[in-house]
Structure 1
Amino acid sequence: MRVVVIGGGFGGLATAARLAKLGHRVTLLERSDRLGGALSTRAQDGFTWDAGPTTTLLPAVVRDLFRKTGRPLERELELVPVDPVREHRFADGSTLSLAGASRSRQVAAFDALGAGLGEAWASYVEARGDDWELLRRDYLERPWDPALAPRALTARLTGRETLHRTLRRAFGDERLRLVAATPFLLDGHDPRDVPSWAGVVSYLEQRFGAWTAAGGLAALGVALTGRLATRGVEVLTATPALDVVVREGRAVAVATPSGEVDADAVVCAVDPRRLPALAPSVRATVPTVPPAVCHVGLEGDAPDLPAQVVLHGGDRVKEPLLVVRPGGTAPDGAHAWTVLGRGRLAEDPLVALARRGIDVRQRLVTRLDLSPRDLVADWGGSPLGVLWQGRSTVTRRLGPRTPVPGVYAAGAHATPGAGLPYVGLSAALVAQAIGPAG
């Protein structure tokens, strides 16, 4: 069977590799002149920065992808743990270093904020572990079918409980609520619209920790590009998909500026809004807006920071959420940092950073500012997928199947959602739905 995969980001690369290993003839279409999507780098004046994510959870998803498509991951690149997962700096001046893959270290860190807070945090995370076991088998690892799935799972996925409400009940201390909500705040979601079960991310951080690739996560995109070549995938870059061609009620090709590419099946691994055949099916959803990004190159000594520092303003201080991510490559004696901003950015991000105690303005060599609009234009959509709008978002997202026969959906905009682990799982779900070549 000939399968056409639309999109050369992580979701498209992972899906193409899996389907090729299953014996399908796979063609991948990418609108830009390079593969990788957000798994790429940006460069300026001798500095390079990760363009998108810098860490991932659930490394087993990446290991499974490589193992089931050819050589094991360890023969292609090295995954290394990131510890702490991130550092939180609160408006009251307190700080918390969130350890990865360690319940005891997390408890100790929260207890340092206040007596009894460690046990409160541990109890919250333990409850999220119960959610994880409920979700893993019948939602994340195989296509969810409400008619066949356990009633407890369907009730959880479609329940009204929000993350905001759960956190209000679990924690009297605002700082703990902020720590638990941070992964969603960073991605532009309002916890009032996020289902409670999505908080399993706190369990994943404590149980498995955060990871990156030696040299940056862009190396993962490079390794997957090589895997496509090994599996014989036909890759057409600078080839935008205009639409899915449907005849007699089924997808038969993908339209491109240079003609139609025939297909027995099509996988949409981009924002479905870009394809008129799928756009009506996702009209009720909204894409998540990326953050404002400021890549900077610094000379001389720079503050020694962990892989991610989150600077909170708090509920009463309506300041934007700022994130500092040291990393990337730099000339000798220099450093590469990325500053992300969420909320109303009424001033230069480096000025805002200085007001919060991290002043690097005198060490600035170069900077590259990218607005949310710039990022969407560059990537052809938001790599953060669909905005949480309550429990209905679960059923409004496409994937692995879509309402158009012969069309499947993977990637950040598909089930089970955004983030490298979930995007990798979406590729596995599509591979299950399509199955081996006949």
Structure 2
Amino acid sequence: MRTEGDINLSPERRRWQDANLSEAALDVLEEDSRYFVHQSMSTPCLNVITNAEGIYLEDMDGRKYMDFHGNSVHQVGYKNKYVIDAMKAQLDEMPFLPRRFTNPIAIRLAKKLAELAPGDLNKVLFTPGGTSAIGMALKLARRATGRFKTISTWDSFHGAGLDAISVGGEGVFRNGIGPLLPGTEHMMPYNSYRCFIGDADGMRSLDYLAYMLEREGDVGAIIMEPIRSTDVQIPPKAYFKRLRELCDRHGVLLILDEIPTAFGRTGTMFVHEHYDIVPDIVVIGKGFGGGVFPIAGIIAREGLDIAQDISLGHYTHEKSSVGCAAALATIEYIERNGLLEHAVRMEGVMERRLTAMKERHEAIGDIRVKGMLAAIELVTDRVTKEKAVEEAEKVLYLCMERGLSFKVASGNVLTLVPPLIASQEELEWAMDTIEDAIIDIFCK
């Protein structure tokens, strides 16, 4: 089953490359394929990009693509001058900080996160990547609870490290690897309505979780995305309210993975703000570094600062002065330019447009929107929800030909992740382009 993304070895992709790329670009792709280890969804690569600026990518043949994918790092756009200027200034002042020492910019960033996060989420720890941040959260949960078992959901993604794929639930990362981290139990996602007919709000899946917690008895943490970014699954508030209650009742820590969605993507700085709960640990990354610098981390509750005698992370670039400058500048840019408010306004625009598209086209089985994060689910039959997998891939490449890039998730979900700086006019153009492609693929 396809869950995470589009496939990089499909005949459709090869046809698109042959029809759209120059011989020079194909030669570069061949050289890339020669030297990089091949892996699903990555190498061999799709195209050769030579520039990224604002909301656009530009390839070596001079074509520009509005990037509604961006690996979820480009909230403030590419080449954001405010972020890059902050990094340049820090490079001139202090480019690297060895462990054992601190620096003012790291403290300013930590203080800012503590001010932004609700409740007593006021202790932070940084790391170069999201996968390692997940690892730190898991280690902290073990130390705090004395339990090693976790519960996460099938089809989830929490990173590519061995510990992260153990709690993750996607076959493309787990299959054929061998023994994974022990005690990593899984449950169905909230939207498993195919398992529980009529369970639109996911409460029956939480009934199963309650059963697991009673039966296992030694679960230390539950980890999940508050909104699954890959195919934009959006649980209702009641789901997370009950989840928080279950965790409290059983002494289980709630870890929310907001790596791809924090910092404005859904119209709030943190996604869990929509649910009026305070998790025990929030994991952040991707857009945290302003689309320039790889930096991630955890934000934990005050009472979880209990691991002084072990190293939860201790990474070489743990308090990177340059990374912290980029992250702080990213947050400041979002605040000073009203991007949270803009994302809320654009949610209304996208929801209106996509709802109208669904009414016009039987091929659209569902649309889901939160802030500037949206999904269009393509089906061959609305009643059976049969996935339009081949058609979705064709829609993707037709849109690429016309200058729009996005992600296909779960085989049939067009996932739109526009930069927060995208204007209403740019969003309207993108949705026009997608609708035209759906017409061309399904109606001709």
Compute the TM-score of the two structures, normalised by the length of structure 1: 0.32
Higher share of residues assigned strand: 1
Higher share of residues assigned helix: 2
Compute the TM-score of the two structures, normalised by the length of structure 2: 0.31
